[in-house]
Amino acid sequence: MPEIRNYTLNFGPQHPAAHGVLRLVLEMDGEVVQRADPHIGLLHRGTEKLAESKPYNQSIGYMDRLDYMSMMCNEHGYCMAIERLLGIEPPLRAQYIRVMFDEITRILNHLLWLGTHALDVGAMTMFLYCFREREDLVDCYEAVSGSRMHATYYRPGGVARDLPDTMAQYQPSRWKSKADVAVLNKERQGGLLDFIEAFTERFPTKVDEYETLLTENRIWRQRTVGIGVVDPERALQLGFTGPMLRGSGVEWDLRKKQPYAAYDRVDFDIPVGVNGDSYDRYLVRMEEMRQSNRIIRQCVEWLKNNPGPVRVDDRKIMAPAREEMKADMESLIHHFKLFTEGYCVPQGEAYATVEHPKGEFGVYMISDGANKPYRVKVRPPGYVHLSALDEMSRGHMLADVVTLIGSLDIVFGEIDR
């Protein structure tokens, strides 16, 4: 018998359509992983340095592109850091809008995670189901910002504009008859809040469909149960946050423990796992989608009954309304000056963090009194989770590495920022 020796295997670089540009160097003993060395640096964007070279209000769009599945949550952390430096607080209606869109973003993220994770493991149907619901939610993004992904909707001091009273409608075409279009437009007759409310009414049954396909599926359980087990103490030592930490049984959620925006005004539960394996992390994220749906329903009800301002009334920070710009040259000049030169922020430093769909997303910012930050440092959850991949994958089979990468829910825009 020839002696079996360890060998090194290049796993990747992966295509961005998978989980970002990840390259793993695996040391294998046959088909068993002895060591996993994650190599990053294939997507470097220099986001933090770019943010230091531009006025504060010109870098909001960069935040969308960090984790491009959790766009508005990234914006929220960045805007909160600026608001703490400025000493301002957005109006309550803006806070509720932020909470609603943070939770819409959480569902968007988890739907894409579920579809791609299941696809990695071998379940193709889930991908099609998840994107069916994602289409409605990216329509909500488009309704408030004109963009289906990189919204740049949050602003220091509030949000860019109030929620629209109408929804875009499908039009008849050579591919869709009037009858088909009437069915598609059935829930688009009212405003955005009506559209979101209709979505929240049917979404729990869709999550039931996902669980029917996967939760008790024998193949799914064989591929996820007992894979990548991390106990609570070790999860804390590794710096886990979000579903990775809660999947190990630690009930830590910034929305409850350090409430921000309007999270202290809504009711929801924190799902936690028991075994700390890939299956528990799956169950935690599934329940998080149900809880997010519950929060969105509460926000819709409050927003319908409480009109009001969505931006602070400070012309040094917020641009004038478009109606004013069209009627007043001074407002038009102010608009251009604000978006080209920005505004000066008092000296100081601030750290703001949000419960991002993947974990704790923080922005540390230092101001020297100029119109651009002296330093910007982003704390992304995926970077920390990826560093644990070596420990989690040792002793597992090569096929389990695919499951683990999906279980981590990593996006490389924030990791190699």
> Of the CATH numbers 1.10.3660.10, 1.10.150.120, 2.60.40.420, 1.10.645.10, which one belongs to the domain with range 7-414?
1.10.645.10
Of 169-183, 331-345, 387-401, where does mean pLDDT reach its minimum?
Answer: 331-345
Model pLDDT, residue 14:
66
> CB-hemisphere CA count at 13 Å for 182?
3
In the predicted model, is pLDDT for residue 17 greater than 70?
A: no
Q: How far is CA 14 from CA 97, 124, 203, 268, in A?
A: 36, 19, 32, 37
In the predicted model, is pLDDT for residue 18 greater than 60?
A: no
Model pLDDT, residue 16:
47
> What does the pLDDT look like over 222-262, one tens digit per residue?
999 999 999 999 999 999 999 999 999 999 999 999 999 99
Question: Which H or E run includes 81?
Answer: helix 71-86
Of the two residues 36 and 319, the one the predictor is more confident about is 36
> What does the pLDDT look like over 205-223, one tens digit per residue?
999 999 999 999 999 999 9
Residue 394 is encoded by which pair of tokens? Answer: 């040792």
CA atoms of 385 and 240, how far apart (whole Å): 6
Confidence of residue 390 (pLDDT cuts 50, 70, 90): very high
Which DSSP state fits 277? S
CA atoms of 105 and 407, how far apart (whole Å): 19
Question: Which H or E run includes 392?
Answer: helix 389-393
The per-residue DSSP string of 5-63 comes to: --EEEEE-PPPTTTTSS-EEEEEEETTEEEEEEEE--SS---HHHHHHTS-GGGSHHHH
Global pTM reads: 0.93
Of 254-268, 327-341, 396-410, where does mean pLDDT reach its minimum?
Answer: 327-341
Model pLDDT, residue 353:
96
In the predicted model, is pLDDT for residue 1 greater than 70?
A: no
Model pLDDT, residue 3:
59
Of 76-80, 243-247, 313-317, 404-408, where does mean pLDDT reach its minimum?
Answer: 313-317
CA 167 to chain CA centroid, nearest Å? 24
| Residues 266-286, mean pLDDT to the nearest whole number | 95
Confidence of residue 304 (pLDDT cuts 50, 70, 90): very high
Highest mean pLDDT among 46-50, 173-177, 291-295, 386-390: 291-295
CA atoms of 189 and 41, how far apart (whole Å): 47
CA 176 to chain CA centroid, nearest Å? 33
| Residues 52-79, mean pLDDT to the nearest whole number | 92
* Of the candidates 231, 254, 230, the residue with the CA atom closest to the CA atom of residue 241: 254
